[in-house]
A and B are shown apart, each in its own frame.
Chain A
Amino acid sequence: MEYVLKVNNVEKTYGKGTNTFEALKNITFSIEPGEFVGVMGPSGAGKSTLLNVLATIDSPTSGDIFIEADNIAKMKEDKLADFRRDHLGFIFQDYNLLDSLTVRENILLPLAIAKMPAKEINEKVISIAKTFGIEDLLDKYPYQLSGGQKQRTASSRALVTKPKLLFADEPTGALDSKSATEFLENLRSLNIEQEATIMMVTHDAYAASFCRRILFIKDGQLSKEMVRGNRTRKEFFQLILDELANLGGDEHDNV
């Protein structure tokens, strides 16, 4: 089977000696090209740990992680940085924009690091900015933007390199519901039209209902998988809420 991401028996243990904590236990799954996968679970279940490990920001205690043919679990520090730059994109809850750079500069940073010629950089930045509808904001500084605009800037930065895989960590966590919906629509159209492969961690059932497949995680283990199939988003949303109620945790979240 073809895959973008393949995770094999990944474990992550914190601490030493008797005082250890297993954050991830025996995680195995894979993501195919063009998928939009959500990862859900209650607080402390290991969602963020999993994302960090997959995103090469943290390293697993054992197990293999393949992104296409590369085993990132066995990669060295400097190579990892290059790999992140060339193949992965990130979106975070708090946007993580550099406040001393303009929107344009924030977006072009990954390309500049990859030593792309300035002309090519300019074209790519403008094209991605159009996709997210922020081409008028390119010369503004982050403090002049609203939350939604910031998140779209962050997404532009994450996607400007055309990454193999886009990681999103609670991307709608700090947005109001209108901005969040717009943003999620953006992600979905990217996923459908440009076949971007996306993995999104969220505890919000509404955000998760935009995904095509959802992995539930509890106590560091994968507990359930859910596929949207031919259901409408609303049906899928209801299904997710029911499942969350079963798992216990975020059942009070609403639309």
Chain B
Amino acid sequence: MTMFDLALKNIKRNLKHYALYIGATVFSIIIYFTFATLKYSDNLSGLAETSRQIRGIMSGSAFVLMIFVAIFILYSNTFFMKKRKKEVGLYSLLGVRKKKIGYLLFFENMMIGIISLIIGIGLGFFLSQLFLAILLKLMGIQMELGFTFSSQAVIETSIVFFAIFLVTSLLGYRVIYKFKLIDLFQAANKGEEKPKSRLIIALAGLLSLILAYWMALQDLMTSDVWHHLGLATPLLIIGLTIIGSFLLFNSVLVYVLTKLKKREGWAWKGLNVMTVSQLLYRIRGNAKTLTIITILSATTITAGGAVFGMYYNTDKTVQSFAPFSFMWQGSQHEISDESVEVAIDFEVKNIRVSSEEMDREYNIINQSTFEQLAQALDWDNIESINNKQEEALLIDPFYDERWSEKTEEVLVDGNPYQISKMYTTSIVNIEVLSGSMLVLSDEQFEALDHKAIDYHVIQLDNYKKHADLSEQLASSLGTENFSSAIRDYQESLKSSGTLLFVGSFLGLVFLLATGSIIFFKMMTEAEEDKSKYGILYKIGVSKREMKQTIRYQMGFVFVAPLILGLMHGAVALIAFSNLLQMNLWKPILWWMLAYTLIYIIYYFITVRGFYQTTMQEEN
């Protein structure tokens, strides 16, 4: 029998063992292929001409995905090889040469790779259609989709994964040389030192986290940190976060568990002593895994939250610079549509005020126009001018307290006006009429000797529904001095929709990966712990109690990184929303909730898997 036959037979016989590994590789291939298909899709490249950033986003994301997929496959491959150590040991014991076993593992791995590649590309083809449809929907584009099969995507996927499999196969080949027969006979984890909690490590961990958080919350424009460190800052923040998380897991968890173990009243009740000891026993190895899970969770939460927040805020962003559905300058244009709620025509006078530093332009409207507009926008703090000779209102949508100077007084044609109140939200569509706006009393406005320009605004009941009306108006008015909320909305959806898609796609991948890594890790432990639960069974521990201790142990492993990950994510997102001056709390909380829910589902699946693995022997 040739080595090839043996490898093939091996896979066929042990299909069940291989299923998890093959599943993981097929999953990775599907994900990558889907993404590659989208990248090369004709529908998308058509769009890419109009919004170029999509291409950039897709290529960058594909690279991230590639690195990630490689790590993921390596991880599951290690898990898979660990499971098969006994088999390899047996071959060795029977006198098969290491070289031959190495060949066997190499062939086997390559075969699995090629089979997975075929399955993955096949399934990925159908999935990519689904994803493409979702993407276009999110971007707000209605388009008929033909079945596209991208040969470029196939080639790219094949090359990437062939390389990955080659590396894992070579690693598999290497495993056999590192393998010692004695490992087979010695029980794992013999005589592991009891971990000690050191205060200094806990403090170091806490300190690096605080430092990372502090740096993350610094203002990009004004802080010294950014000034001195520049682009190294984010790297430093990430590095400190990782180190801090690891040190905290290593010390604080040990401390808590040791303390719990010492409280005899609690510990010596049921299997509590077992739960705590098991966690303590594994804390070294677990600290690493917990850190990886924390970082993955934080990344998923941050990326997803940011992207989802921006998508969620598209509406608000549009509203902030185009508060009216339509606005244009020039002649009146009658719109006989029942969806029109408010139509206001008004005059604006433009003045230029010179001061020592710079000239400023002001658009002036009168008090009654201001009231009309503000009422149409449901403003609730409409101020009126008391002293008509000397007071004015100022609307400055670009005011930013961090660097703008507050205007107290404005000179209009030589007459000083006190600013009695300032508004920082735009009252008209900025696209048509930008800059600061001054409100004078009707009489003072009338008295101004400047040319009045006519403007018209229209508010519809729901601007998003009237794309056709917008196009009609645009064609009859000319696009130059015309602003339409729906048009702006569509534009921003195009970019934020892509971001959302890419973000949620990567988020989904990270999410699944996080789950799989915990799952693999726990199944490895379950395999090791089998005999322990066998002993408990013989001592007379009921299955219910064993299930409980498993639930607690898993719960600990799941909850600790989730809490830390949520914290990291929250800080990152606060920094993000500060940077963009957006209020993202609501979408971020929703996103975190969604993440936590999925995470909880993983928990239950893992507990089930663990329980089934450890209980196998008894049933």
Q: A110-B539, A112-B273 given. 20 additional CB < 8 A pairs?
A: A81-B540, A81-B543, A88-B540, A90-B538, A96-B531, A98-B274, A98-B532, A101-B277, A105-B277, A109-B273, A109-B539, A112-B267, A113-B270, A113-B539, A113-B540, A113-B545, A116-B268, A118-B268, A141-B194, A143-B191
Residues 87-103 of A, flagged 1 when their CB comes within 8 A of B and 0 if not, give 01010100011111100
A to B CB contacts below 8 Å, 16 in the list: A55-B538, A82-B540, A83-B540, A84-B540, A85-B540, A85-B541, A88-B540, A92-B538, A97-B535, A101-B277, A108-B273, A109-B273, A109-B536, A112-B268, A112-B269, A143-B192
What residues of chain B lie closer than 8 Å to A96, measured between beta carbons? 531, 534-535, 538
Q: Say how far A125's CB is from chain B's closest CB, in angstroms.
A: 10
**Cα A137 to Cα B532 with chains together (Å):** 21
Total count of chain B residues near the partner, CB < 8 A: 33
Tell me which of B192, B272, B543 contacts A78 (CB under 8 A): B543
Q: Say how far A188's CB is from chain B's closest CB, in angstroms.
A: 24
Residues 526-552 of B, flagged 1 when their CB comes within 8 A of A and 0 if not, give 000001101111111111110000000
> Does the CB pair A100–B281 fall under 8 Å?
yes
> Does the CB pair A57–B544 fall under 8 Å?
no
Q: Say how far B372's CB is from chain A's closest CB, in angstroms.
A: 76
Within 8 A of A (CB), among B250-284: 264-265, 267-274, 277-278, 280-281
**Cα A105 to Cα B181 with chains together (Å):** 33
Confirm or deny: A77 has a beta carbon within 8 angstroms of a beta carbon on chain B: yes
Q: Say how far B575's CB is from chain A's closest CB, in angstroms.
A: 41
> Does the CB pair A57–B274 fall under 8 Å?
no
Which of A77, A88, A99, A115 has the most chain B CB atoms closer than 10 A to its own CB? A99
What residues of chain B lie closer than 8 Å to A244, measured between beta carbons? none
Q: Say how far B274's CB is from chain A's closest CB, in angstroms.
A: 7
**Cα A213 to Cα B177 with chains together (Å):** 54
**Cα A108 to Cα B538 with chains together (Å):** 15
> Does the CB pair B265–A112 fall under 8 Å?
no
> Does the CB pair A81–B268 fall under 8 Å?
no
Top-7 shortest CB links A-B: A85-B540, A84-B540, A100-B281, A81-B542, A143-B191, A118-B264, A100-B277
> Does the CB pair B264–A84 fall under 8 Å?
no
What residues of chain A lie closer than 8 Å to B267, measured between beta carbons? 112
What residues of chain B lie closer than 8 Å to A112, measured between beta carbons? 267-273
Interface residues of chain A: helix, strand, loop or mixed (majority): helix
**Cα A193 to Cα B154 with chains together (Å):** 80
Confirm or deny: A215 has a beta carbon within 8 angstroms of a beta carbon on chain B: no
**Cα A86 to Cα B539 with chains together (Å):** 9
What residues of chain A lie closer than 8 Å to B407, measured between beta carbons? none
Residues 144-170 of A, flagged 1 when their CB comes within 8 A of B and 0 if not, give 100000000000010000000000000
**Cα A118 to Cα B269 with chains together (Å):** 8
What residues of chain A lie closer than 8 Å to B271, measured between beta carbons? 112-113
Q: Say how far A149's CB is from chain B's closest CB, in angstroms.
A: 15
> Does the CB pair B542–A78 fall under 8 Å?
yes
What residues of chain A lie closer than 8 Å to B13, measured between beta carbons? none
Q: Which residue of A lies closest to B193 (CB)?
A: A141
> Does the CB pair A122–B540 fall under 8 Å?
no
What residues of chain A lie closer than 8 Å to B536, measured between beta carbons? 98, 109
**Cα A113 to Cα B270 with chains together (Å):** 4
Confirm or deny: A121 has a beta carbon within 8 angstroms of a beta carbon on chain B: yes
Confirm or deny: A23 has a beta carbon within 8 angstroms of a beta carbon on chain B: no
What residues of chain A lie closer than 8 Å to B538, measured between beta carbons? 55, 57, 84, 90, 92, 96
Q: Which residue of B lies closest to A158 (CB)?
A: B539
Which of A55, A98, A105, A108 has the most chain B CB atoms closer than 10 A to its own CB? A98
**Cα A88 to Cα B540 with chains together (Å):** 8
> Does the CB pair A85–B539 fall under 8 Å?
yes
> Does the CB pair B539–A84 fall under 8 Å?
yes
**Cα A216 to Cα B545 with chains together (Å):** 38
**Cα A184 to Cα B190 with chains together (Å):** 28
**Cα A121 to Cα B269 with chains together (Å):** 10
Q: Say how far A201's CB is from chain B's closest CB, in angstroms.
A: 14
Confirm or deny: A24 has a beta carbon within 8 angstroms of a beta carbon on chain B: no
> Does the CB pair B539–A77 fall under 8 Å?
no
Confirm or deny: A222 has a beta carbon within 8 angstroms of a beta carbon on chain B: no
What residues of chain A lie closer than 8 Å to B192, measured between beta carbons? 143
**Cα A82 to Cα B543 with chains together (Å):** 10
**Cα A78 to Cα B277 with chains together (Å):** 25
Confirm or deny: B189 has a beta carbon within 8 angstroms of a beta carbon on chain A: yes
Confirm or deny: A111 has a beta carbon within 8 angstroms of a beta carbon on chain B: yes
Q: Which residue of B lies closest to A167 (CB)?
A: B538
What residues of chain A lie closer than 8 Å to B280, measured between beta carbons? 100
What residues of chain A lie closer than 8 Å to B264, measured between beta carbons? 118, 121-122
Q: Say how far B354's CB is from chain A's closest CB, in angstroms.
A: 81
> Does the CB pair B540–A105 fall under 8 Å?
no
**Cα A121 to Cα B531 with chains together (Å):** 25
A115-B269, A141-B194 as given contacts; A101 in contact with B539, CB under 8 Å = no
**Cα A90 to Cα B545 with chains together (Å):** 19
Which of B278, B531, B539, B543 has the most chain A CB atoms closer than 10 A to its own CB? B539
Q: Which residue of B lies closest to A78 (CB)?
A: B542
> Does the CB pair B274–A77 fall under 8 Å?
no
**Cα A121 to Cα B273 with chains together (Å):** 13
What residues of chain B lie closer than 8 Å to A105, measured between beta carbons? 273, 277
**Cα A85 to Cα B281 with chains together (Å):** 25
Q: Say how far B329's CB is from chain A's closest CB, in angstroms.
A: 78
> Does the CB pair A143–B190 fall under 8 Å?
yes
Q: Say how far B67's CB is from chain A's closest CB, in angstroms.
A: 36
Q: Say how far B267's CB is from chain A's closest CB, in angstroms.
A: 8
**Cα A245 to Cα B297 with chains together (Å):** 68
> Does the CB pair A144–B191 fall under 8 Å?
yes
> Does the CB pair A100–B278 fall under 8 Å?
yes
Q: Say how far A239's CB is from chain B's closest CB, in angstroms.
A: 33
What residues of chain A lie closer than 8 Å to B278, measured between beta carbons? 100
Q: Say how far B530's CB is from chain A's closest CB, in angstroms.
A: 13
Within 8 A of B (CB), among A209-247: none
Q: Say how far A75's CB is from chain B's closest CB, in angstroms.
A: 12
What residues of chain A lie closer than 8 Å to B191, measured between beta carbons? 141, 143-144
What residues of chain B lie closer than 8 Å to A55, measured between beta carbons? 538
Residues 3-40 of A, flagged 1 when their CB comes within 8 A of B and 0 if not, give 00000000000000000000000000000000000000
